[in-house]
């Protein structure tokens, strides 16, 4: 795609408030993106250059049942932003509010792309030296083999379009490397991918990876069901936080250690940048007719600007169309009509 890309952004739900999201939108607009910002105009204040603010003060970002709220609150900012994308007024969506609400509103209004069983949430994880794209991290709790197979191709297409991996190595997360390891669903998905993936070029199915291999660069895209994926991503975040916290604590425990920590700090800075959670811009909603990015509520303006940049890149790189082409050439599109809709969703992050 050439020309200006328009991104609809929901400003509600960010921990630092709508004005922080607006500041991120302003930074993106400065780089040439057109931004439609849906949120409380009173909080956003002066409209930044290149950003069109649509006053949408109603927030469902903290709703107890986000999927229900998304269907029953037509004037919620996330629903209005999604509808702008569905109507073609914007090319992509960015939200920093509830992941569940974004997915439910997206499935309901933007709709699944043709031939997709279920949308998936894919998170690019900033692992030092070996970033991965992990999916599903919570759009669906369970996954049948055909879902896992689609997730593999959906993740590979996005990895290529947005993360710049020329030939993504795709793996299934399991309790052992052998093709016979895993639940029945994982074993069946393994068989189907082993039969299909090598024939469709530009992606490599590398089989199963174990938990120990998630952080060691064994694959670029790691596929699992949403229950396991959600636990895996949070374990990874939690463990690295705990370990770094323990190192930090050790580095303040004695005067000698304090001096050591101070001398070490510059060398650790590059590492800290590598694992910056705002770097990848947030999670990708895959399987819809349009691009959607869910930034983390904790993000600063930098993260929101990055989320908008990723959304724009996905549009320019035709990520949705390329996903369809890849699934089609792999014979992995769903042929039957899609009927089980948003009801099957139990998202959470």
Q: Which residues bind its own copies (CB under 8 A)?
A: 127-130, 138, 141-142, 173-176, 181-183, 210-216, 224, 226-228, 230-244, 246-247, 249-251, 253-254, 256-257, 259-268, 270-271, 274, 348
Minimum distance between the CB of residue 221 and its own copies, rounded to whole angstroms?
A: 16
Minimum distance between the CB of residue 278 and its own copies, rounded to whole angstroms?
A: 18
Nearest Cα residue to 174 out of 224, 123, 236, 237 = 224
Q: Which is nearer to its own copies, 22 or 222 (CB)?
A: 222
Nearest Cα residue to 119 out of 87, 89, 82, 90 = 82
Q: Which is nearer to its own copies, 87 or 264 (CB)?
A: 264
Minimum distance between the CB of residue 235 and its own copies, rounded to whole angstroms?
A: 4
Minimum distance between the CB of residue 94 and its own copies, rounded to whole angstroms?
A: 23
Q: Which is nearer to its own copies, 183 or 329 (CB)?
A: 183
Minimum distance between the CB of residue 138 and its own copies, rounded to whole angstroms?
A: 6
Q: Which is nearer to its own copies, 48 or 297 (CB)?
A: 297
Would you say 339 and 116 are in contact if contact means Cβ atoms under 8 Å apart?
Answer: no
Q: Which is nearer to its own copies, 8 or 214 (CB)?
A: 214
**Helix 145-162 vs helix 184-196: angle between axes, to the nearest 10 degrees?**
50
Cα 138 from Cα 192, distance rounded (Å): 23
Q: What residue spans of the chain are helical by DSSP H?
A: 18-30, 41-44, 66-72, 77-86, 99-105, 145-162, 184-196, 226-250, 255-274, 301-316, 319-329
Minimum distance between the CB of residue 58 and its own copies, rounded to whole angstroms?
A: 24
Cα 92 from Cα 83, distance rounded (Å): 11
Minimum distance between the CB of residue 344 and its own copies, rounded to whole angstroms?
A: 13
Residue-wise DSSP of 288-312? BSSEEEE--TT--HHHHHHHHHHHH
Helix and strand numbers, DSSP H then E, in the chain: 11, 11
Q: Which is nearer to its own copies, 49 or 184 (CB)?
A: 184
Residue 17 tokens read as 């408030």
**Helix 145-162 vs helix 301-316: angle between axes, to the nearest 10 degrees?**
100
Nearest Cα residue to 169 out of 213, 126, 136 = 213
Minimum distance between the CB of residue 74 and its own copies, rounded to whole angstroms?
A: 25
Q: Which is nearer to its own copies, 40 or 226 (CB)?
A: 226
| Sign of torsion over alpha carbons 3, 166, 156, 229 | negative
Q: Which is nearer to its own copies, 12 or 224 (CB)?
A: 224
Mention every residue, 6+ apart, whose C-beta is less than 8 A from residue 346.
67, 140, 141, 226
């Amino acid at each position: 795609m050439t020309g200006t890309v328009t991104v609809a952004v929901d400003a509600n739900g960010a921990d630092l408030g709508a004005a922080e999201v607006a500041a991120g939108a302003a930074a993106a607009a400065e780089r040439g993106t057109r931004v439609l910002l849906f949120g409380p105009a009173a909080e956003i204040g002066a409209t930044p250059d290149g950003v069109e603010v649509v006053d949408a003060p109603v927030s469902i970002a903290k709703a107890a049942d986000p999927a229900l709220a998304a269907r029953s609150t037509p004037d919620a900012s996330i629903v209005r932003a999604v509808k702008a994308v569905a109507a073609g007024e914007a090319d992509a969506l960015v939200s920093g509010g509830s992941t569940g609400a974004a997915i439910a509103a997206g499935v309901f209004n933007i709709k699944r792309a043709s031939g997709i069983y279920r949308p998936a949430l894919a998170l690019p994880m900033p692992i030092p030296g070996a970033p991965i794209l992990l999916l599903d991290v919570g759009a669906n709790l369970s996954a049948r083999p055909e879902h896992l197979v689609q997730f593999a191709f959906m993740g590979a297409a996005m990895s290529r379009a947005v993360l710049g991996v020329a030939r993504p190595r795709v793996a299934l997360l399991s309790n052992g490397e052998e093709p016979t390891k895993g639940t029945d669903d994982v074993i069946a998905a393994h068989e189907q991918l082993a039969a299909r993936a090598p024939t469709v070029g530009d992606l490599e199915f590398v089989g199963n990876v174990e938990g120990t291999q998630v952080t060691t660069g064994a694959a670029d895209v790691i596929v699992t069901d949403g229950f396991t994926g959600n636990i895996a991503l949070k374990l990874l975040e939690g463990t690295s936080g705990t370990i770094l916290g323990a190192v930090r604590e050790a580095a303040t425990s004695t005067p000698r250690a304090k001096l050591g920590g101070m001398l070490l700090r510059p060398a650790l800075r590059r590492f800290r940048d590598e694992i910056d959670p705002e770097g990848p811009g947030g999670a990708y909603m895959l399987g819809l007719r349009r691009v959607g990015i869910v930034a983390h509520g904790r993000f600063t303006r930098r993260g929101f600007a990055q989320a908008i940049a990723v959304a724009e890149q996905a549009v320019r790189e035709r990520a949705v169309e390329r996903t369809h082409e890849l699934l089609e050439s792999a014979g992995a599109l769903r042929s039957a009509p899609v009927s089980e809709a948003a009801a099957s969703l139990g998202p959470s992050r």
